[in-house]
Amino acid sequence: MSFGAALPTVDVAGVPADALVLDVREADEWAAGHVEGALHVPMSGFVARFGEVTEAVAEGRRAYVMCRVGGRSAQVTQYLVQQGIDAVNIDGGMLAWEGAGRPMVTDNGSPAFVL
């Protein structure tokens, strides 16, 4: 295994509509707007909830990891890859997602935005 290898990344246009999006932002960010169907596991509690992530990717699915701009998700992606999980960082995060016009939702039906 080579260390220092480039982190696997994808831009928002490369995220399939049926992808497993793993959102690692905090609860207030999630509440403002998120990708419909995403799995919300905040980075602050990630290790404690790691089992939920391994269950979600158990069917051989790739995890597309998302935060606001890509910093936190890069750290989580690196961790997942080290655990042998197929994960890629979404370059630009939710800001890029919103900028590309990709759909966002809220749990309460209010207009979605990136916090």
Tell me the pLDDT tens digit for each residue of 80-104: 999 999 999 999 999 999 999 999 9
Residue 16: CB atoms within 10 Å: 10
Positive or negative, the CA dihedral 45, 8, 93, 87 is: negative
Does residue 111 carry a catalytic annotation? no
Taking CA atoms, 17 is separated from 6, 37, 68, 97, in Å, by 25, 10, 19, 12
Please tell me the pTM assigned to this model: 0.92
Residue with tokens 């509690």: 45
Specify the residue for token string 């419909």.
36
pLDDT, tens only, 24-48: 999 999 999 999 999 999 999 999 9
Given the residues 15, 57, 67, 81, select the one marked as catalytic.
67
